[in-house]
């Protein structure tokens, strides 16, 4: 029986929050690719470990798995694409894909440049510049501009309220107390979700009429090959989920890159040279052809996967890697462990972007050796957009600043929901061309 040999009850959740990688390694050593684990929540739970088992669960050959996100983020990201299953998921994905074509990407990218430039004007040289805190603010403001059309639809005060409501929804995903009690995270998120629904609902007719290139406008008119479009409620639900899916993950990638580039000035100089060769408003094609930056970003997503685990629920008895998984099991697919397995990667703890170079291709050691964007029918729909956004932000930061972190500094990570540096990632930030200093105060 799966739960019998589980690590002590609540042990799994606490051990995960302490250090997910240590927990995954221990379970893999003790149990192999399917490990029972006691995680907070109803019913038995198992970690799916190693590339073979992760691949099998993600590809879901016998349709035994459905998404398991509802209990974790469901109330606030209700009916987002990742929370749908079966034919309904397939149909919504088909329509949503039309919002992420190469042509649309070019439109979003053109809007990204001025927005990033304007955000970076607030960055100033400092000995302890909290890079993560500022990146988070930057990507949130980018989402408001690129996704919602920004100041076209609302004044800055209203947009601030919307941003706060959105942050409240995201924070509830990691709440320990998962019921609303006046003033707690769950309560704030419940109000936040209502604010977002009201805001987007009120602006939807204008977004439809505007026919603009921002994601909100685009979602009101995209259709699949049969001409099926989203209803108003679906547009709102997808917008709220997309804001969440895009924000934390891209922030994590860029912040991890700032950390490792701060520790490795040789790599920082290499990628700065690539960024410097770009014009101020590079196209999607130009941003896609930056081999050093590409390797750095992949390496950062390997070392700190923005989504270390994806959640599934077993709906009929099945087998993974020869191990029985009964219906009702909550399955956590741990792609982060695969990123550190010594049988797949040379010196997996080391920052070594060239492992992705054509002559080494360590990521091809197994189809699921490197899987920060998941796999199967739920594979990330925003992968291309996120790559362009991360490259745009990093290229602009590299052109304006150089930075470093102390030799033995490693950021203390929070793993309550998606991983982030609890100390805001302080870096010593200097302009590439000296223009004076100042002490930053993020809002």
Q: If you write DSSP's letter for every residue of 268-297 in order, what string do you get?
A: HHHHHHHHHTS-SS--HHHHH--HHHHHHH
Q: Is 236 in the site for ligand HEM (CB under 6 A)?
A: no
Q: Is 188 in the site for ligand HEM (CB under 6 A)?
A: no
Q: If you write DSSP's letter for every residue of 138-172 in order, what string do you get?
A: HHHHHIIIIIH-GGGTS-HHHHHHHHHHHHHHHHH
Residues numbered 91 to 130 that lie near ligand HEM (CB under 6 A) are: 93
The minimum distance between CB 374 and ligand HEM, in angstroms, equals 3
Order of strands, edge to edge, in the sheet holding 426-431? Answer: 126-130, 426-431, 401-404
d(CA 333, CA 285): 33
Question: Is residue 47 within 8 Å of 321, Cβ to Cβ?
Answer: no
Closer to ligand HEM by CB, 7 or 293: give it: 293
Q: Is 373 in the site for ligand HEM (CB under 6 A)?
A: yes
The distance of Cα 29 from the centroid of its chain, to the nearest Å, equals 28
Q: Is 81 in the site for ligand HEM (CB under 6 A)?
A: yes
Q: Is 249 in the site for ligand HEM (CB under 6 A)?
A: yes
d(CA 379, CA 367): 14
Closer to ligand HEM by CB, 298 or 402: give it: 298
d(CA 388, CA 110): 11
Contact region for ligand HEM (CB under 6 A) — 1-9, 242-250, 275-283, 404-412?
Answer: 242-250
Closer to ligand HEM by CB, 374 or 419: give it: 374
Q: Is 378 in the site for ligand HEM (CB under 6 A)?
A: yes
Q: Is 256 in the site for ligand HEM (CB under 6 A)?
A: no
H or E stretch at 337: helix 335-338
Structure tokens at 334: 């741990």
When binding is defined by CB under 6 A, the residue of 40, 106, 341, 380 that contacts ligand HEM is 380
When binding is defined by CB under 6 A, the residue of 49, 53, 165, 245 that contacts ligand HEM is 245
Ramachandran angles phi, psi of 34, nearest 5°? -125, 110
Q: Is 20 in the site for ligand HEM (CB under 6 A)?
A: no
Q: Is 79 in the site for ligand HEM (CB under 6 A)?
A: no
Q: Is 230 in the site for ligand HEM (CB under 6 A)?
A: no
Q: Is 50 in the site for ligand HEM (CB under 6 A)?
A: no
For ligand HEM, the binding residues (CB under 6 A) are: 67, 81-82, 93, 242, 245-246, 249-250, 253, 306-307, 310, 372-374, 378, 380-382, 385-386
């Amino acid at each position: 029986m799966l739960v019998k040999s589980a690590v002590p009850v609540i042990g799994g959740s606490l051990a995960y929050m302490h250090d997910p990688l240590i927990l995954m390694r221990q379970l893999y050593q003790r149990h192999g690719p399917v490990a029972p684990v006691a995680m907070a929540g109803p019913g038995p739970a198992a970690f799916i470990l190693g590339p073979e088992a992760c691949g099998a669960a993600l590809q879901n050959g016998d349709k035994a798995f459905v998404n398991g996100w509802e209990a974790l983020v469901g109330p606030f990201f209700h009916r987002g694409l990742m929370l749908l299953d079966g034919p309904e998921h397939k149909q919504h994905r088909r329509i949503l894909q039309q919002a992420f074509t190469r042509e649309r990407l070019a439109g979003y990218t053109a809007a990204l440049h001025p927005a990033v430039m304007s955000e970076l004007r607030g960055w100033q040289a400092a000995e302890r510049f909290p890079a993560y805190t500022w990146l988070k603010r930057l990507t949130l403001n980018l989402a408001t501009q690129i996704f919602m059309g920004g100041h076209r639809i609302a004044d800055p005060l209203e947009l601030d309220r919307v941003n706060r409501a959105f942050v409240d929804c995201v924070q509830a995903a990691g709440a320990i107390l998962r019921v609303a009690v006046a003033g707690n995270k769950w309560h704030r998120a419940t109000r936040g979700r209502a604010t977002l629904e009201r805001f987007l609902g009120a602006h939807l007719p204008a977004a439809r009429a505007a026919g603009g290139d921002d994601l909100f406008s685009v979602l009101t008119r995209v259709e699949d090959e049969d001409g099926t479009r989203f209803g108003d409620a679906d547009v709102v639900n997808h917008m709220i989920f997309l804001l969440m899916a895009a924000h934390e993950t891209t922030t994590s990638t860029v912040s991890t890159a700032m950390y490792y580039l701060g520790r490795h000035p040789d790599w920082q100089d290499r990628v700065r040279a690539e960024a410097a060769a770009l014009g101020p408003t590079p196209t999607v094609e130009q941003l896609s052809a930056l081999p050093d930056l590409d390797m750095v970003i992949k390496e950062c997503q390997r070392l700190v996967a923005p989504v270390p685990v994806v959640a599934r629920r077993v709906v009929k008895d099945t087998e993974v890697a020869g191990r029985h998984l009964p219906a009702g099991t909550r399955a956590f697919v741990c792609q982060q462990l695969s990123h550190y397995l010594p049988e797949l990667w040379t010196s997996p703890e080391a920052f070594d972007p060239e492992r992705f170079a054509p002559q080494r291709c360590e990521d091809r050691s197994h189809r699921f050796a490197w899987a920060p964007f998941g796999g199967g029918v739920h594979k990330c729909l925003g992968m291309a957009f996120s790559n362009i956004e991360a490259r745009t932000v990093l290229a602009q930061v590299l052109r304006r600043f150089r930075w470093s972190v102390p030799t033995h500094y490693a950021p203390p990570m929070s793993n309550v929901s998606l991983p982030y540096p609890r100390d805001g990632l302080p870096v010593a930030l200097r302009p590439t061309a000296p223009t004076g200093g100042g002490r930053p105060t993020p809002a």
